[in-house]
């Protein structure tokens, strides 16, 4: 038993060293089997860093029930590609319920630009003027020309030229003559064949370029073009967004913005400092109480609490878990759960010592008899976390989901801290010279008479 305790203690010390190094090292980049860890600091949520939060609702009315999951995965993938290309660091993109997507963009202050980037379907297609049998352009009631899909033959079929035939290499260029931005695009082999036929018959006529049924540009075709073209007449910011959208692809289903909000970074920073200060004060108070009241066991519990905190922060960094104000509150609450388990164990130890048991026997009995209470209380907490996570996921409350996830991780590690770390520390101390002084392990004399009274 003594050798086993020493081995466990060495394992705990190694785990603590790894956890402290993980938290202390700014940048982490290594591989373990198929897992690749590339982290740079703790991931801060939108409420701690500031930025933009948008909730989108997808229109799945035209999608079968079996294909809705794939459609939502496609939307998330394309939005993520757009956000990554835009240069946003550490975005949080997740599906809420069955048809909503939460997009958190830390550091992004232009809310309208963010909505245009992620909320636009970006279905590009090409059209030509609709003409009557006499070759005249058909106009609407306002005198504007009507547009018809620009089609051409491809392998014996009449095909409408759309953005699906574009290569993912569109980019913003500056016209050397006008000094205006343009979006240069390139077609794949099939698209080039279609584009060549269409521009061949539209020389001297306009070619309409539409994005989500909205006319973006209608340049006059000057010559036959096969694989390359440009979209002109748009502002620089719009050109950049359009290039990103074309490279990421069109969303498989339309989406609508149902919620949008800005988070002030200054307020978030102030809230973070106050939350951390509150957590440090609370932790110091708990440690002082444990050491003052429970003496040696309390000191071991305080040491185990520091191990617990290091492991939790390391898990938050490696997972990575996005820390929010709600998540910090859950972390502080889980510290209380860890202390609560230790208190149950120590009170059981006091009872066993009062019956005349030796310190080692009282310690083992205390852990054994406290386990059912610790198990039941933590299981009930896990059930509550699962309900909160489901609630947050269903109704789009990211802060509730963050609270539930952080609390569940903290409680799971707190059980390890109380039942393994604290237990091992006490076993080692019980075999030291301090183990011969039972009065250091209980705040009251260990007598049967006091226990009976």
Q: Where are the domains of the chain?
A: 2-43+264-452, 51-121+255-262, 124-248
User: Which of 121-125, 309-313, 440-444 bottoms out in mean pLDDT, i.e. has the lowest?
Assistant: 440-444
Q: In whole numbers, what is the pLDDT of the chain averaged over residues?
A: 86
CA distance 37 to 26: 13
Q: Is the pLDDT of residue 416 over 80?
A: yes
Q: Is the pLDDT of residue 199 over 90?
A: yes
Tell me: domain 2-43+264-452, CATH 1.20.1640.10, correct? yes
Q: The dihedral of CA 157, 224, 180, 146: what is its sign? A: negative
Q: Is 57 helix (H, G, I), strand (E, B) or coil?
A: strand
CA distance 232 to 181: 7
pLDDT at 413: 94
Q: What is the pLDDT of residues 348-371, one digit of tens each?
A: 988 888 888 888 888 899 999 999
pLDDT at 448: 42
Q: Is the pLDDT of residue 312 over 60?
A: yes
Rounded to the nearest 5 percent, the helix, strand and coil shares of the chain are 55, 20, 25
pLDDT at 376: 94
CA distance 398 to 416: 28
Q: C-alpha distances in angstroms, 402 versus 38, 42, 343, 398, 399?
A: 21, 14, 28, 6, 5
Q: Is the pLDDT of residue 237 over 50?
A: yes
More confident residue, 44 or 288: 288
Q: C-alpha distances in angstroms, 101 versus 27, 111, 252, 260, 326?
A: 30, 16, 14, 12, 20
Class of 51-121+255-262 per CATH?
A: alpha beta
pLDDT at 86: 82
pLDDT at 447: 42
pTM for the whole structure: 0.66
Which DSSP string do the residues of 121-153 spell out, in sequence order? ---EEEEEE-B-TTSPBPB-TTSPBPEEE-EEE
* CATH of segment(s) 124-248: 3.30.1360.200
Asked whether the bond before 198 is cis by omega within 30 degrees of 0, the reply is: no
**Strand ranges across the sheet with 228-231:** 171-174, 181-186, 228-231
């Amino acid at each position: 038993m003594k050798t086993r305790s020493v081995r466990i203690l060495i394992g705990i010390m190694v785990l603590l060293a790894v956890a402290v190094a993980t938290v202390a090292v700014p940048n982490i980049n290594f591989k373990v089997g198929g897992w690749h860890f590339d982290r740079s600091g703790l991931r801060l949520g939108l409420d701690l860093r500031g930025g933009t939060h948008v909730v989108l609702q997808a229109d799945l009315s035209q999608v079968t029930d079996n294909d809705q999951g794939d459609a939502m995965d496609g939307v998330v993938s394309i939005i993520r590609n757009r956000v990554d290309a835009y240069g946003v660091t550490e975005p949080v993109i997740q599906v809420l319920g069955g048809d909503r997507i939460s997009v958190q963009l830390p550091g992004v202050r232009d809310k309208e630009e963010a909505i245009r980037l992620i909320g636009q379907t970006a279905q590009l297609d090409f059209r030509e003027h609709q003409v009557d049998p006499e070759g005249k352009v058909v106009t609407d009631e306002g005198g504007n020309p009507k547009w018809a899909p620009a089609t051409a033959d491809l392998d014996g079929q009449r095909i409408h030229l759309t953005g699906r035939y574009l290569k993912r290499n569109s980019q913003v260029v500056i016209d050397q003559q006008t000094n205006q931005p343009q979006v240069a695009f390139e077609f794949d082999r099939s698209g080039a064949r279609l584009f060549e036929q269409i521009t061949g018959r539209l020389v001297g006529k306009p070619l309409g370029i539409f994005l989500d049924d909205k006319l973006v540009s209608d340049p006059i075709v000057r010559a036959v073009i096969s694989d390359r073209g440009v979209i002109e007449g748009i502002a620089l910011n719009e050109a950049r967004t359009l290039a990103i959208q074309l490279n990421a692809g069109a969303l498989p289903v339309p989406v609508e913005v149902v919620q949008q909000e800005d988070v002030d970074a200054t307020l978030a920073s102030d809230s973070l400092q106050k939350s951390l200060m509150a957590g440090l004060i609370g932790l110091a108070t708990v440690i002082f109480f444990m050491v003052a009241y429970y003496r040696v066991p309390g000191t071991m519990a305080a040491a185990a609490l520091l191990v617990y905190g290091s492991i939790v922060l390391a898990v938050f960094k490696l997972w990575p878990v996005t820390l929010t104000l709600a998540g910090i509150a859950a972390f502080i609450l889980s510290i209380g759960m860890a202390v609560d388990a230790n208190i149950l164990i120590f009170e059981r130890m006091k009872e066993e010592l009062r019956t005349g048991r030796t310190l080692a026997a009282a310690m083992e009995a205390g852990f054994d008899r406290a386990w059912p209470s610790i198990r039941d209380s933590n299981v009930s907490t896990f059930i509550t976390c699962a309900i909160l996570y489901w609630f947050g996921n269903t109704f789009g409350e990211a802060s509730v989901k963050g609270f539930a996830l952080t609390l569940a991780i903290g409680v799971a590690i707190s059980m390890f801290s109380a039942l393994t770390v604290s237990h091992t520390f006490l076993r080692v101390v019980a075999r030291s010279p301090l183990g011969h002084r039972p009065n250091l392990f209980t705040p009251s004399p260990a007598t049967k008479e006091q226990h009976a009274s």
